[in-house]
Structure 1
Amino acid sequence: MKTAAEILAAFDNIRRAQNAGVYAPHKPLLILLALARVQRGEPRLVDFNDIEGPLKRLLVEFGRSGSANTRHLPFWHLRSDGQGAIWKLSGPRELLARPAATAPNLGELRLNHVRGGFPIAVDKALREQPGLLEAVAAQVMDAAFPETLHADIAAAVGLSLDRSTIIMAGERTAPAYVQSEHRHRDPGFRERVLRAYEYRCCVCGFDLRIGQVSAGLEAAHIQWHNVGGPDVEPNGLSLCSLHHKLFDLGAFTVEPSEFRVVFSQQAIGSQRGRDGELRHHGRPILPPQQRDMLPAPQYLGWNFKNVFKTPARRVGG
């Protein structure tokens, strides 16, 4: 059986476009779906026809606009990561013999009932080593998504994450478990961003304090930290927890000329929603203390391209 350290290292090294600053959630979401199946005791291999629908829904909700159109690619390409250490396919020999770069289309995967899943040794370890599955899931989510989305993604894939079990698994494998290349966060980022915006949400002005402690106020990365976004003020927004969540879901972004809040046409609410969150549409953010702390165009551009759910609502006339 593979050790926990070997398995964690394999999942830590999946090839992702994030290395180039591009948000590509396809492989992480497929892995999380497969982990949830293992956790529920379902068979090791799953027919593409059975996982296509759930993966499409996840990509619509948590991916870039249009991500769902390429939902078949991670099912095929994941098999080449780590020389087959993570994902195996079963199907017609002539189809599987294609070069890794020559992916079948949606119709071919459906018609040939290609099945995919973790290799036997990995599947066995995930089922039998306490806490390992949860540790892998936590590692994948930490590498691919901001923390604001973790609980929603886990619920959407049907994955139960017991943090106490994850800690136990980490203790068994630490300190030799994995030398991750993930970037460390700057602990001063939050304080600098909140101070820049005078400890208020730059969208709604929320500034409640309990004594000297700001309540429910967070420093949001415009370009996410896990995809190369730096811990600097021009890549940060001071947001209340609600607007941080909406921002990371792509419900709104900030346009780079007049720094106005722009909501997605996909953000739809009742009259209460229109009187509440959508009333901020078209309004400029509350600015930081200094002009050089304003959101930088390159980070806003990244957010619009990778996170914001297009199309945008019209601003003004």
Structure 2
Amino acid sequence: MVTDWLERTAALRQWARGGARAPHKPLLLLYALGRFQRDDQEELRYSAVEEDLKGLLAEYGPPHRTTPAYPFHHLVGDGVWEVRTDRGPGSPGTGVRELRATGAAGRLVPELRAALRREPSLLGRITRLLLDQHFPPSLHAELCEAVGLEPQPESEPTETERYSPARGQRRDRRMRELVLTAYEYQCAFCGYDGRIGAVPVGLEAAHVRWWAYDGPDDVDNGLCLCSLHHKLFDKGVLGVGEGHRVLVSQRFVGHSPAARAQVTALAGRPLTGPQPGIRPIAAPHRAWHLTQVFHGTPRPHG
């Protein structure tokens, strides 16, 4: 049944401690779905896809370096993935050398492949669930493109909540308006405040601690950001440091005047907002973003 596969997807077992991000299995599963969409018979030989998986982990995983060998082996235990080697069925373990030497290859289990063929909408629903559970909305479209999947329309508000009972909370659909009002419809990083008539354009409410990782829909977990700085914040290029000043990662490279003006020149700049009487970003949420999303060390500033 469709619900069985959605429940199994929502219940992927992951290493977790203190809110640490571990999206290794979701990234592998998204990659496998993209490959299935192109060729539903293909096996993914580890040695052939290792670099692709490394790239996904570097781009969308936590700041510390990790290996794709871990999910390639351990996803088997979740009942959605199988591995075989030159010796027969079964994974040789989590070692990169073993996976390469034995010709390890993985793919979705036969029952899931059959369900995806039988019910075309299932692929999109699993994709949507993985995106909602593990990544912020600002990254969904580009992540789909990175793994070769069609961008997914937003699901019904209750879809992810229904299959993720452990979240224990429902989304507060008022958050965007509350956050934008708190920051007086200005980007907290650059001050952008564009409108068409009375309607703000290019302004978004960003979660500091992602909702997928227990970040609440509260104003003190939000920032009003323009579309550019929202994307850079969720990618770990930008962060918020002590004194609520903007941090810029030393890993960011941009030589154009626009890159300097829009990114590197922000280093050390105090946030614009929130307005008096409204709580700024709570320290635990800011600390989570710095350890789980922000990449590298901050650029020095004067």
Q: Which residue of 2 aligns with 1:70?
A: 67
2:170 to 171, 184, 205: 184
Taking the aligned partners of 1:313 and 1:245, their CA distance within structure 2 comes to 19
Q: Which residue of 2 aligns with 1:229?
A: 215
How far did residue 262 of structure 1 move?
1.0
1:276 to 262, 269, 284: 262
Deviates more, 1:287-296 or 1:16-25: 16-25
Q: Which residue of 2 aligns with 1:43?
A: 41
1:296 to 263, 276, 282: 282
Root-mean-square deviation (CA, aligned residues, Å) is 2.5
Structure 1: state its 5+ residue gaps: none
1:310 to 296, 299, 302: 296
Q: Give the TM-score normalised by structure 2.
A: 0.90
Taking the aligned partners of 1:158 and 1:96, their CA distance within structure 2 comes to 27
How far did residue 96 of structure 1 move?
4.2
Question: How has the CA–CA distance of structure 1 residues 25 and 130 changed in structure 2, closer, same or farther, with 3 Å as cutoff?
Answer: same
1:119 to 109, 116, 132: 109
Question: How has the CA–CA distance of structure 1 residues 179 and 35 changed in structure 2, closer, same or farther, with 3 Å as cutoff?
Answer: closer
Taking the aligned partners of 2:283 and 2:86, their CA distance within structure 1 comes to 48
Q: Which structure has more RCO (C-alpha within 8 Å, separation ≥ 6)?
A: 1
Question: How has the CA–CA distance of structure 1 residues 179 and 275 changed in structure 2, closer, same or farther, with 3 Å as cutoff?
Answer: closer
How far did residue 127 of structure 1 move?
3.0
2:200 to 191, 214, 234: 214
Alignment coverage as a number of residue pairs: 297
Question: How has the CA–CA distance of structure 1 residues 42 and 94 changed in structure 2, closer, same or farther, with 3 Å as cutoff?
Answer: closer
Q: Which residue of 2 aligns with 1:129?
A: 119
Q: Give the TM-score normalised by structure 1.
A: 0.86
How far did residue 66 of structure 1 move?
2.3
1:109 to 85, 99, 111: 99
How far did residue 209 of structure 1 move?
2.3
Question: How has the CA–CA distance of structure 1 residues 188 and 97 changed in structure 2, closer, same or farther, with 3 Å as cutoff?
Answer: closer
1:79 maps to 2:72: no
Taking the aligned partners of 1:232 and 1:97, their CA distance within structure 2 comes to 43
Taking the aligned partners of 2:117 and 2:285, their CA distance within structure 1 comes to 41
Question: How has the CA–CA distance of structure 1 residues 48 and 235 changed in structure 2, closer, same or farther, with 3 Å as cutoff?
Answer: same
Q: Which amino acid aligns with 2:253?
A: I
Q: Secondary structure at the match of 1:244?
A: helix
How far did residue 278 of structure 1 move?
1.9
How far did residue 42 of structure 1 move?
4.9
2:248 to 263, 275, 293: 263
Q: Secondary structure at the match of 2:244?
A: coil
Q: In the TM superposition, what whole-angstrom CA distance separates every residue of 1:109-163 from its partner, at most 9, and x where no partner exists? A: 1111212111111112223422221221111111111110011101111112464
CA contact (8 A) 1:18 1:227 kept: no
Q: Which amino acid aligns with 2:37?
A: Q
CA contact (8 A) 1:39 1:127 kept: no
CA contact (8 A) 1:262 1:315 kept: no
Taking the aligned partners of 1:275 and 1:292, their CA distance within structure 2 comes to 29
Structure 2: state its 5+ residue gaps: none
